[in-house]
Amino acid sequence: MRPITRRNALILGGVGAVGVAVGGTGLWMTHDASSRTPSQTGTGNEFTEPTELRSSNGTLSVALEAAAGQLTVAGRTVTALGYNGGLPGPTLRVRGGDTLRVSLHNGLTNPSNLHVHGLHVSPENNSDNVFVTVPAGDSFDYRYELPLNHPPGVYWYHPHQHGYVTDQVFGGLYGAIIVEDPTPITVSRERVIVISDITLSSTGTIPAATPMEKMSGREGELVLVNGQLNPSLTARPGERERWRVVNACVSRYLRLRLDGQEVTLLGIDSGRLSSPRSVDEIVLAPGNRADLLVTGHAGTSRLEALPYDRGSSGGMMGGGNAPARGDITLATLTVAGETAATPAAIPGQPAARDLRATTVTARRELVFAMGMGGMGGGMMSPTINGRAFDASRVDETVQFGSVEEWLLTNTSTLDHPLHLHVWPMQVVEQGGTAVETVIWQDVVNVPARSTTRVRIAFDDFSGRTVYHCHILDHEDAGMMGVIEAR
């Protein structure tokens, strides 16, 4: 299978500019540490989904316990982390206007907290406040008030305690959040597909990451779908399913393909396309989500993660490893039986807000770099605008209610996906080329040695939160800043 190139990204599966915004990349270069092809020996088990919890009468109240324990992962009983004893944690289904209450108990030996990734909610007090620390053994009650017009789609939750994020997410702490459509889309069934990766020792434990893995961003030896290896799915010809896909990997980019089936993209992150479009491939950076419709055609198909080049830290600490070339089978779909009735047409979607004609209040630049001197003696130090994260410092102050344009400049040889909390971003330019499709994302990839331009409306919520690289090893090492809207 050919590696992805810049031209591939520009025409990615017929998505056009969406492909650029989601996962534009440079020419094929050497992959770095821990990028080897995982050994995917499928268990042959039937596809399963996490427990699902739905809101009722405008409220969803959930008790979550983050703890280590004996969990079933990839068909083995191993020692890993989980919410409520599961990997992934329960799926939370809510609607615009709902109140989501989460009582988090930290059963870990280290501090933790909770981030509702992508939700457009307040960053203050006991809402999506990443500056809250929940010590080991303690609990904290979160309350998230979703706006009535909150964008529908797939979101997720995970810890955000600085310095511990990667280990806790890589260890198994994550789960999906679904915000329902005001007008339902007719499908035969929905599937929540949380993709993650993990490394397990022969004794069923998660080994500590090496300095090289932290520098490049660790990629696990096993790539999981809802904690399973290559599970089996079945459908009938003509059935239309909705797949809610989350990239919960801490560093791995997912270039997804499902040959032999009709795949339609509804949206990425909180962005919904006004006209859903057919795709052959889609690239999800760490933290991205895809909302897909899959219409069955008779036969057996594999959901695959194809090679994706996210750059190289070659030359640092002796250089990178050999590139990953192989395809990874994530799940196997068998479509057989009597043909189903033709599903109802997809309801029209409202036109997305377009900030390109909006007056820009301010412009600023964020420079992502991997300078020397950090991460433990001679290692590379991930920074934004030359500074490592300091929770006591506000790096960017923005005017509440304003629209800003940010130039995201990546001077390093590795891709860096930027995640901005609370306020989604509209990508308007990638690598000097205008992006014509209107799509909103909360994780925007900035390919190695390139620039990306976004516009942001700082609406609805004031307060202090963060922006950071979603290669979580880089975030923990300092590639994060504090922003305050006031």
State yes or no: pLDDT of 89 exceeds 90: yes
User: Which are the contacts of 158, defined by CB distance < 8 A and separation ≥ 6?
Assistant: 114, 115, 117, 165, 168, 169, 173, 174, 175, 248
Q: What is the pLDDT of residue 314?
A: 57
Position 349 scores a pLDDT of 83
How far is it, in rounded angstroms, from Cα 120 to Cα 122? 7
Beta strands 254-258 and 379-384 are unpaired
Write the CB contacts of 116 (distance below 8 Å, at least 6 apart in sequence): 100, 128, 144, 155, 157, 177
pLDDT at 41: 59
pLDDT, mean of residues 376-396: 86
For 205-220, write each residue's pLDDT tens digit.
Answer: 999 999 999 999 999 9
Q: Using 50, 70 and 90 to split pLDDT, how confident is the model at 379?
A: low
When pLDDT is averaged across residues 309-325 and rounded to a whole number, the result is 56
Put the strands of the sheet holding 299-306 in their side by side order. Answer: 232-235, 328-335, 299-306, 254-258, 281-284
Q: How far is CA 341 from the centre of its chain?
A: 34
Name the pairing type of β-strands 262-268 and 289-295: antiparallel
What's the pLDDT at 350?
84
Q: Among 73-87, 140-154, 369-383, which stretch is predicted with the lowest mean pLDDT?
A: 369-383
d(CA 114, CA 124) in angstroms, rounded, equals 13
Q: What mean pLDDT is reported for the chain?
A: 89
The per-residue pLDDT for range 229-273, each reduced to its tens digit, is 999 999 999 999 999 999 999 999 999 999 999 999 999 999 999
pLDDT at 94 over 50: yes
Would you say how long the chain is, in residues? 486
The pLDDT score that the predictor gives to residue 373 is: 56
The amino acid occupying position 109 is: T
User: Which of 113-117, 123-127, 343-347 is predicted with the least confidence, judged by mean pLDDT?
Assistant: 343-347
Contact indicator for 218, 251 with CB cutoff of 8 Å: yes
b/e code 436-450 from CB counts within 10 Å (16+ = b): ebbbbbbbbbbbbeb
pLDDT for the residue numbered 30: 26
The pLDDT value recorded for residue 299 is 97
pLDDT at 7 over 50: no
Name the more confident of 24 and 363: 363
Whether 10 shows a pLDDT value over 60: the answer reads no
What's the confidence (pLDDT) of residue 412? 94
> So what's the pLDDT on residue 5?
40
Please report which confidence band the pLDDT of residue 316 belongs to, taking 50, 70 and 90 as the band edges: very low
Res 33 pLDDT > 90:
no
pLDDT of residue 117 exceeding 90, the answer is: yes
User: Residue type for 483, please?
Assistant: I
For the domain covering 355-485, report its CATH number: 2.60.40.420
